[in-house]
Amino acid sequence: MAELTPLINGVRHSWGEVKIIILGRTVTGISAISYDDKQDKKNHYGAGNMPSHRGKGRYEASAKVTLYDYEVDAIQRSLGVGKRLQEISSFDVVVAFAGEDDIIVTHVIRNCEFMDNKRDLKEGDTTFTVELGLLPSHIEWS
């Protein structure tokens, strides 16, 4: 077993080292991104009370981003009058983390499409952010 050396005053990936590319450009007006994937798996039974084998079902990926309103407005303007975010052709979202050790970790959220376009703003807010759901086909984990 390898000896574990504690990380003392070290740096790990954090929001400050994240670079996110949406629709071909680095997005600076982003405050959150969330993505995950899962695969349906089930135990199957034969004789006895223990599983005799396992079956795998559908794979599903999901994602969402929280952008500042000016980023969403810029995307909306680039589409032209009367177009909706949901009409944008599929695109990849690239999330890259760079640390002190110069090792870059890259996750690619593939074939995304915007699922919604909403605004929530209330009294007392000091920022105007927009959470947008994405429909990806799959995620490539580096």
Whether 81 maps to a domain, the answer reads: yes
Domain of 109, CATH number, reads: 2.30.110.20
Q: Can you give the pLDDT at residue 100?
A: 64
Per-residue tokens: 17 = 């080292």
Per-residue tokens: 90 = 């599929």
Mean pLDDT of 80-104: 86
Please give the Cα distance from 120 to 66 (Å, whole number).
12
Per-residue tokens: 105 = 């970790």
Q: Provide, rounded to the nearest whole percent, the portion of the chain with pLDDT above 90.
A: 66
**DSSP 8-state symbol, 70:** H
Among 30, 56, 28, 33, which Cα is nearest to 43's?
56
**DSSP 8-state symbol, 73:** H
Whether 59 maps to a domain, the answer reads: yes
Whether 2 maps to a domain, the answer reads: no
Q: Model's pTM, two decimal places?
A: 0.84
Number of domains in the chain: 1
Whether 48 maps to a domain, the answer reads: no
Amino acid at 15: W
Query: 49-87, pLDDT tens digit by residue?
Result: 999 999 999 999 999 999 999 999 999 888 888 889 999
More confident residue, 101 or 77: 77
* Range(s) of the domain holding residue 64: 18-39+54-140
Whether 6 maps to a domain, the answer reads: no
